[in-house]
C-alpha cells in the first residue's frame, strides 16, 4: 500500500498520490531549484490556512504562488506588463518571483490581504510535474517552521515536520530562495535571491533595491520585517573586512563552530570549521544546511562575503539570522 506521509522518491505513482493529496486540501513538500517548498492549493483558502498553521507563519506574510505554465497565470494576475514579460522570458522557469495585481479569485489568505500576488515558475522538474499533475497553482513557502533555516534537503523538511509527505529531489541547486521583484511605476527588488540584482538590472535598469524597514516602519514586502533563518544558538556574523576580530573570537571561544568561505578555513586552526565553498554561489548552496549543523549552546561564528552578485543574498540571510553583527 502507498504510504501517505514521509520522504518518498518522486516516481509517477508518488506524484499522482501527492497531486491527489493537494486536491484534497492537504499540504505536500516538494523540491524546487531554490529550497524545498510546502505546497497547498493556492485557490483553496482552507488549504492555505493549514500551511500558515503548520509553519507558525504570521498571517500578514504572503506566499508565493507557483505555476507550471503561463496559462495558469491568467487565473492569478490581472495585468501582465511588458517588464514582466521581459523578465519572465529571460528567467522563467527559474528563481525569480514577480509581484503583480491579483485577480479576485486569489484568496486573501495567500496574499496577506494585499491587492497583489507573488508568482513564479520554478525550474525543478519535480515541482513542474507536481503542478501539472494536480492542475492547480501551488502556494508554497519554504518547508521549514517559521524563523528556522530554509530546507535544502528532504531530511531538513522531515526535521521540522516529521511524517509530512515530502517528494525527495535530492539537495537543491541554489540553496537560497527566489529573488522577489515588484513591477509597477517603480520596479523594486523586494528580496535578494538566487538571481543577482545585477542580472535583473541588465534588463530593467531602473530596478532599485528596497531597504529593510526599521522598527515600526511599514514594510514594502511584509517578509522583510521578520527575523529569519535562525539556527538554535547565538550567531555572530563578521563582515568580510573583520577577519582579525573573528580570529580573536574563535580563540576566545574554543567551543564555537566556525562557518567561513573555503579560502579562510586555515585562519582558524584550533576551531571546528565548516567550509562553505569557494564562490558566492557555493556559499549560498551550503549556507542553510550549515546553519542546521547540530551543536547546541556554543555560538556560531560566521565570516561574511562581499556583497556582489549572490553575495548580497548570502549577506541578507546571514544578517537576518544573526544575533550579533561585527
Piece in contact with ligand AMP (CB under 6 A), picked from 108-116, 121-129, 234-242, 282-290: 108-116
User: Closest distance between Mg ion and the C-beta of residue 1, in Å?
Assistant: 33
The gap from C-alpha 39 to its chain's centroid, in whole angstroms, comes to 13
Closest CA to 78 of 121, 122, 135, 116: 116
> Which does residue 10 touch among ligand AMP, Mg ion, none (CB within 5 to 8 A, set by kind)?
none
User: Closest distance between Mg ion and the C-beta of residue 267, in Å?
Assistant: 32
Phi, psi of 248 (to 5 degrees): -65, -45
DSSP-assigned letter for residue 269: T
Position of minimal CB gap to ligand AMP:
223
User: Closest distance between Mg ion and the C-beta of residue 147, in Å?
Assistant: 9
Q: Provide the residue count of the chain.
A: 326
CA distance 228 to 250: 24
Count CA within 13 A, CB hemisphere, residue 81. 13
Binding string to Mg ion for residues 83 to 122, with x set by CB under 5 A, is what? ----------------------------------------
- Residue whose entry in the numeric block shows the C-alpha cell 556574523: 237
> Which does residue 114 touch among ligand AMP, Mg ion, none (CB within 5 to 8 A, set by kind)?
ligand AMP
Closest CB to Mg ion among 134 and 142? 142
User: Closest distance between ligand AMP and the C-beta of residue 290, in Å?
Assistant: 19
CA distance 103 to 129: 25
CA distance 314 to 326: 16
Binding string to ligand AMP for residues 18 to 57, with x set by CB under 6 A, is what? ----------------------------------------
Positive/negative CA dihedral, 109, 190, 27, 13: positive
Closest CB to Mg ion among 250 and 315? 315
> Is the Cβ–Cβ distance between 36 and 172 less than 8 Å?
yes
Closest CB to ligand AMP among 118 and 131? 118
DSSP strands (E only) in the chain: 7-8, 28-30, 37-41, 64-66, 96-101, 116-120, 138-139, 166-167, 179-182, 188-191, 208-209, 235-238, 257-260, 272-275, 300-303, 324-325
114 binds ligand AMP (CB under 6 A): yes
142 binds Mg ion (CB under 5 A): yes
152 binds Mg ion (CB under 5 A): no
Among 116, 153, 172, 179, binds ligand AMP (CB under 6 A): 116
Secondary structure of 36-67 as H, E, C letters: CEEEEECCCHHHHHHHHHHHCCCCCCCCEEEC
User: Closest distance between Mg ion and the C-beta of residue 264, in Å?
Assistant: 28
Decide: helix, strand or coil at residue 171. Answer: coil
User: Closest distance between ligand AMP and the C-beta of residue 271, in Å?
Assistant: 32
Among 32, 41, 68, 111, binds ligand AMP (CB under 6 A): 111
Piece in contact with ligand AMP (CB under 6 A), picked from 163-171, 174-182, 249-257, 294-302: 174-182
Cell matching residue 295: 551543536
133 binds ligand AMP (CB under 6 A): no
Among 21, 54, 63, 129, binds ligand AMP (CB under 6 A): 63
Q: Report the interface residues with ligand AMP, using CB under 6 A.
A: 61-64, 99, 111, 114, 116-118, 141-142, 177, 180, 182, 190-191, 221-223
Binding site for Mg ion (CB under 5 A): 142
Amino acid at each position: 500500500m502507498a504510504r501517505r506521509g514521509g520522504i518518498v522518491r518522486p516516481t509517477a505513482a508518488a506524484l499522482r498520490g501527492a497531486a491527489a493529496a493537494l486536491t484534497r486540501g492537504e499540504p505536500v513538500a516538494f523540491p524546487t531549484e531554490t529550497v524545498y517548498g510546502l505546497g497547498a492549493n493556492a485557490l483553496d483558502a482552507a488549504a492555505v490556512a493549514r500551511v500558515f498553521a503548520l509553519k507558525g507563519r504570521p498571517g500578514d506574510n504572503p506566499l508565493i504562488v507557483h505555476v507550471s505554465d503561463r496559462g495558469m497565470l491568467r487565473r492569478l494576475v490581472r495585468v501582465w506588463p511588458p517588464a514582466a514579460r521581459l523578465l519572465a522570458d529571460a528567467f522563467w522557469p527559474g528563481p525569480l518571483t514577480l509581484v503583480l495585481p491579483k485577480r479576485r479569485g486569489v484568496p486573501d489568505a495567500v496574499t496577506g490581504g494585499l491587492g497583489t500576488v507573488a508568482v513564479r515558475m520554478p525550474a525543478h522538474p519535480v515541482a513542474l510535474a507536481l503542478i501539472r499533475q494536480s492542475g492547480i497553482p501551488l502556494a508554497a513557502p519554504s518547508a521549514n517552521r517559521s524563523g528556522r533555516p530554509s530546507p535544502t534537503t528532504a531530511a531538513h523538511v522531515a526535521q521540522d515536520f516529521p511524517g509530512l509527505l515530502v517528494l525527495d529531489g535530492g539537495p537543491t541547486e541554489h540553496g537560497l530562495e527566489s529573488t522577489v521583484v515588484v513591477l509597477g511605476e517603480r520596479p523594486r527588488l523586494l528580496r535578494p535571491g538566487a538571481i543577482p540584482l545585477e542580472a535583473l538590472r541588465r534588463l530593467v535598469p531602473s530596478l532599485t533595491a528596497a531597504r529593510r524597514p526599521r522598527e515600526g516602519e511599514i514594510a514594502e514586502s511584509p517578509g522583510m520585517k521578520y527575523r529569519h533563518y535562525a539556527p538554535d544558538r547565538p550567531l555572530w556574523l563578521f563582515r568580510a573586512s573583520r577577519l582579525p576580530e573573528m580570529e580573536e573570537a574563535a580563540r576566545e571561544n574554543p567551543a564555537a563552530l566556525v562557518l567561513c568561505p573555503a579560502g579562510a578555513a586555515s585562519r582558524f586552526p584550533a576551531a571546528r570549521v565548516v567550509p562553505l565553498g569557494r564562490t558566492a554561489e557555493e556559499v549560498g548552496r551550503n549556507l542553510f544546511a550549515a546553519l542546521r549543523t547540530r551543536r547546541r549552546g556554543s555560538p556560531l561564528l560566521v565570516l561574511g562575503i562581499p556583497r556582489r552578485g549572490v553575495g548580497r543574498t548570502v549577506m541578507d540571510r546571514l544578517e537576518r539570522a544573526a544575533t550579533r553583527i561585527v
